[in-house]
Amino acid sequence: MLKAVILIGGPQKGTRFRPLSFEVPKPLFPVAGVPMLQHHIEACAKVPNMKEILLIGFYQPNEELTRFMFSAQQEFKISIRYLQEYAALGTGGGIYHFRDQILSGGPEAFFIMNADVCSEFPLLEMLNFQKEHGEPSSFVILGTTANRTQSMNYGCIVENQGTNEVLHYVEKPSTFVSDIINCGIYLFTPEIFQHIGAVFQKNQQDMLLDDLTNGNGWHRAEAIRLEQDIFTALAGQGKLYVYKTRAFWSQIKSAGSAIYASRLYLNQYHKTHPERLATNEDGGPRISGNVYIHPTANIDPTAVLGPNVSIGTGVTIGAGVRVRESIILHGATLQDHSCVLNCIVGWDSTIGKWARVEGTPSDPNPNDPYAKIDSETLFRDGKLTPSITILGCNVTIPAEVIILNSIVLPHKDLNRSFKNQIIL
């Protein structure tokens, strides 16, 4: 049997996702209409013999997470449990800490996935790939091709082109190493814990020494990074392989990348969930391209939506409203004639009549097949880099103003136009 583990991080992670991560744990942020994690879970549930999905993170148990797990278990008929780390243990420390839980029932292999990726999740392909490679207990990293400059923002993999063995692994190098990057999705056998265990033992010894020499014991032996601490050491040992996919993949670090990820998933819905895509119907709004509309949303038939729009529960959209490349979160209201482009409109926010709320997309270069989305820093040369516009929860935008390339923190009542600003 098989299992899957999703690394969901904790409240201190996901700062680039503010102000949206104030309201909801980032892994539950809706992408293409469903929580980010649900895409992972759906993919896992389709794998034959998948017995359990474990979420590992350092969030306090919370209602949203509990509710999500409950409904996902019902929907996908699979056991889903949350295992809480007592502190941030890193991408390798958490799974090591909970190794007994992962190994209980005796899975012959298990997947590990970062929560903040968007992917076609070629899990069956990874299983087949593992079988084809002589070494029965080899570990597989899902890899994809990036362009030279962007590759350095990721974990970089050098492979043996004949065998796909990982010869060298380096996390976010400062010079170009390889254009094959780590997708944050792995297939391991239980043997991985011997390797993590060895690092754990070594850390403990180092720490003892460290404590004796300079008395700073802040570093935990249990905090282990899969990428730097494990993969780097395993490379070239005949144990670690890379399965390269050409299917879509992206990180979801910034809010802007959530819009891009939504576009990728909405596009995938044509194959996986055509029922989630809105269609042009008599008495309904005009749909252009891929659009998700929650059934409880109330949309005027003269509105025009799409491409790449996701509309959440209980959203109200008035007459003559235009929405493109945006995520509208539950309870928001877009009044008549308003125009929303490249935005995330926060929960229960209101946009007045004829207001224009617009951002600048940070899409990957469309002419470069290997380009990824840049999750840039907010500021460049002291100036806010033009980004998508984000309205936090319960923001009010008055009629007829323009809000351009701005980030509005929750519960603000704006009274005029703003451009290129963070509004506290």
Partner 1 sequence: MLANMKALILVGGYGTRLRPLTLSVPKPLVEFANKPILLHQVEALVKAGVNHVILAVSYMSDLLEREMRVQEERLGIKISLSHEKEPLGTAGPLALARELLTDNEESFFVLNSDVICDFPFEDMLKFHRHHGREGTIVVTKVEEPSKYGVVVYEAENGRIHRFVEKPQVFVSNKINAGMYIFSPSMLKRIQLRPTSIEKEIFPSMAEENHLYAMELQGFWMDIGQPKDFLTGMCMYLQSVRQTAPDRLTTGPGFLGNVLVDPTAVIGKNCTIGPNVTIGAGVVLEDGVRIKRCTVLKGSRVRSHSWLESCIVGWSSSVGQWVRMENVTVLGEDVIVNDELYLNGANVLPHKSITDSVPEPRIIM
Question: Which of the choices partner 1, ligand GTP, none does residue 226 contact, using the CB cut-off of 5 to 8 A by kind?
Answer: none
- Position among 126, 152, 327, 339 found at the interface with partner 1 (CB under 8 A): 339
Sign for the CA dihedral angle at 55, 58, 61, 67 comes to negative
Footprint (CB under 6 A) of ligand GTP, residues 8-47: 8-9, 13
Angle at 398 between CA 395 and CA 404, to 5 degrees: 75
Q: Which is nearer to ligand GTP, 64 or 336 (CB)?
A: 64
Q: Does 165 bind ligand GTP (CB under 6 A)?
A: no
Q: Does 64 bind partner 1 (CB under 8 A)?
A: no
Alpha carbons 230 and 355: distance in angstroms, whole number = 52
Identify the H or E element spanning 232. helix 232-234
Q: Does 336 bind partner 1 (CB under 8 A)?
A: yes
Q: Does 92 bind ligand GTP (CB under 6 A)?
A: no
Footprint (CB under 8 A) of partner 1, residues 381-410: 400, 402, 404
Among residues 60, 96, 274, the alpha carbon closest in space to that of 188 is found at 96
Alpha carbons 375 and 54: distance in angstroms, whole number = 28
Give every CB contact of residue 304 below 8 A, 6+ residues apart in sequence.
285, 286, 288, 321, 322, 323
Question: Which of the choices ligand GTP, partner 1, none does residue 13 contact, using the CB cut-off of 5 to 8 A by kind?
Answer: ligand GTP
- Position among 238, 320, 331, 361 found at the interface with partner 1 (CB under 8 A): 320
Identify the H or E element spanning 2. strand 2-9
Q: Does 102 bind ligand GTP (CB under 6 A)?
A: no
Question: To which residue do tokens 């991080």 refer?
Answer: 9
Q: Number of residues interacting with ligand GTP: please give it, by CB under 6 A.
A: 17
- Could you tell me the smallest distance in angstroms from the CB atom of residue 306 to partner 1? 12
Angle at 258 between CA 255 and CA 260, to 5 degrees: 120
Q: Does 58 bind ligand GTP (CB under 6 A)?
A: yes
Q: Does 325 bind partner 1 (CB under 8 A)?
A: no
Q: Does 352 bind ligand GTP (CB under 6 A)?
A: no
Q: Does 229 bind ligand GTP (CB under 6 A)?
A: no
Alpha carbons 35 and 75: distance in angstroms, whole number = 14
Residues in the site for ligand GTP, rule: CB under 6 A? 7-9, 13, 56-58, 85, 88-91, 94, 114-116, 184
